[in-house]
Amino acid sequence: MTATGTFQAGTQMLSVMGGRESADVFDDLAAELREERRLTQIHLGDPERKQTRDRLGAQRDSTDTARAAAEAETGADILTGDSSGDDLGRLRDGVDAGTVGRADALDRYTELIEDTGLLTAAHLRALELSPGRTDAELAQDLVGAHEEFSRANALLAGAIAAGGMDYEETAHFTHLTASYRTALGRAEEDLRGDVRRGYEAMRAAQPWADTERLSRAVVTRPPVGESDVPGKAEWNFDIGVDADEWEEASSGADREFGDLVATQLDTAIGTAWADAVQRIALALAGCVFLLVAGTASIVIATRASRRLVGRLSQLRNDTLALADTRLPDIVDRAQNGQRVNLAEELPRLSYGRDEIGQVADAFNTAQRTAVGAAVKQAEIREGVNRVFLGIAYRNQALVQRQLHLLDEIEYDEEDPRTLQRLFRLDHLATRARRYADNLIILGGAQSARRWRDPLPLVDVLRAAISETEDYERVRLTSAPRVRLRGTAVADIVHLIAELVENATQFSPAGAPVDVNCGPVAGGIAVDVEDRGLGMTEEGYQAAARTLAEAPEFDVMALPDEPRLGLFVVARLAARHGVRVRLFPSPYGGTRATAILPETLMEEEHDARPEPVMVPDQRSADHGHSGDGAER
């Protein structure tokens, strides 16, 4: 583990050093931004100076070129603080429009330069693996000192161009010069080799001496100047430094300072490279040792485990045979209501008393528990199914008796208002009978209603429509002159009634629901189309899954409220080979299409579409009782 970790650390170090080229493009961009910051300060100090404007425009082009190179290297936008746009572009626009002052421009350019330095700082932090003050830490200190020097240079250049330096600018300049001098003094004792020689050469060179002399003159100038009002003190705005003299001195010192920083960066990279190579070499040696030791351990473990492999293979084969063949067969038979003897059906696996034997015993317990639970669940389900079927059959018998009694009362009643109310009660009882049929169908049993003789399809459709609550909204337009086999009449009436009721329930009150019927390849298509809100794509997919596979009776235990109508339709469709699909309607609602197979049909001599008459209130309501009679 130690060798592997050391090897990974060394590999990571090599990867970081391999990204030196990426860091260089950011260093170049930072250098261009520093020069643009300095020229911007001069321009804001003397906006009328054409030479400065031209130099600033050329420098902006150089900055844009360096920025494009950095963006090409990273594949991301540079110098954009947020989604509102280009920070550098907005800063330039403010400078050109005169809405950004020198102090604000100095701070904002500094923020951009610090953003470009984040990648370099990340590289330097990644190199800090040795204890104590490392070359990477020293390089990071020199980078910070160089930035403070450059910021002080730009501040003074702008003040010279403006013709004076106020109190705040003087204090800022004093802080910056003191900061970079302090940083250099702190780093001086740790400088070694070429970096040390470069530092001494920089301090001895004339540009650095001139820069130090001029900056100290600015800081130490008398704070009080001459005032036009006798006896009144006034801040000394006079700088006493010539622009050309300062630019010549500071430019040379800045180049030498940059070379010093680059030398220290190269030193840090070289030190890290040597450290990474050493770590990798140690890691490789450790890996070789571990490889030898591991090989010996594998040989010993292989010899010791050969005896166990045969037993484990046999246990695997036995458990797979039980899990793949015997257990599914036992569970299927239990769910189909057949009796299962666990002691005879599940042989016990015996593999001794060691760990393998304990695994076999655990599997014996698990399989017996699982099969026992499945058998118990099947028995409970069968019992609940019988209870619900018993309740549904009794309820259906009572409703059927109620319908016969209503027929007798309607036959003897002559008062139109009373007769109208009886028809409504007859209609409600018919719907209650259909709801009782839902439980019977979901329980897997046959409805008590039977027809022996074929029935015209138009009568089947009318009966289905009349079994819905809002039958007055349903329009039956046409139906072929065919007859439906008597054995399928009750189920088809129920199936179409459920589709029509869904259409009326999920469409606005008063909106029509159209029922169209016509021959298609393989049978007769019955379309039920509403003008409701329709369903989502997920809703249509869920409905298709429900209609494609007839659900079990335990759908009542679903956590969300199910659409029992679709479950009943799926059961009836599977029983008679009817294909049911739901589609979006061009009217904005849903179109349900049920294709009745030819095996359920008996053609009449005249196959022309039968004209459909809209039934009046009495005939529609009274049709429920007639449909409910057994034939």
Give pLDDT tens digits for 548-583: 876 665 544 444 444 567 888 888 888 889 999 999
User: Could you tell me which residues are beta bridge partners of residue 85?
Assistant: 82
Average pLDDT, rounded, for the chain: 77
* Angstrom distance (rounded) from CA 37 to CA 392: 89
What does pTM read for this prediction?
0.46
Our separate counts of H helices and E strands in the chain read: 19, 12
pLDDT at 266 over 70: yes
User: Could you tell me which residues are beta bridge partners of residue 513?
Assistant: 474
Q: Are strands 523-529 and 590-597 parallel, antiparallel or unpaired?
A: antiparallel
pLDDT at 34 over 80: yes
Q: Are strands 482-484 and 513-520 parallel, antiparallel or unpaired?
A: unpaired
At 619 the pLDDT is 37
Helix, strand, coil percentages (3-state) for the chain, rounded to 5, are 70, 10, 20
406-628: CATH topology is Heat Shock Protein 90 (3.30.565)
pLDDT category, 55, cuts 50, 70, 90?
very high
Cα-trace Rg, the chain: 47
pLDDT, tens digit, 9 for 90 and up, residues 102-149: 999 999 999 888 887 776 666 566 555 544 457 878 888 888 889 999
Helix (H, G, I), strand (E, B) or coil at 20: helix
Helix (H, G, I), strand (E, B) or coil at 46: coil
Identify the DSSP state of 453: S
At 27 the pLDDT is 81
Q: Which of 501-505, 563-567, 602-606 has the highest mean pLDDT?
A: 501-505
Q: What is the mean pLDDT of residues 530-540?
A: 87
pLDDT at 13 over 90: no
pLDDT, tens digit, 9 for 90 and up, residues 606-629: 444 444 443 433 333 444 434 433
Query: How is residue 60 written in tokens?
Result: 């902006």
pLDDT category, 416, cuts 50, 70, 90?
confident
For the chain, give every residue range classified as CATH 3.30.565.10: 406-628
274-283, 310-319, 455-464, 605-614: lowest mean pLDDT where?
605-614
628 CB contacts (<8 Å, ≥6 apart)? 400, 403, 430, 433, 449
Burial class (CB in 10 A: 0-12, 13-18, 19+), 543: buried
pLDDT at 39 over 70: yes
Q: Convert 377-390 to b/e letters by CB count within 10 Å (16 or more is b).
A: ebeeeeeebeebbe
At 621 the pLDDT is 41
Can you tell me which residue has the tokens 């018919």? 430
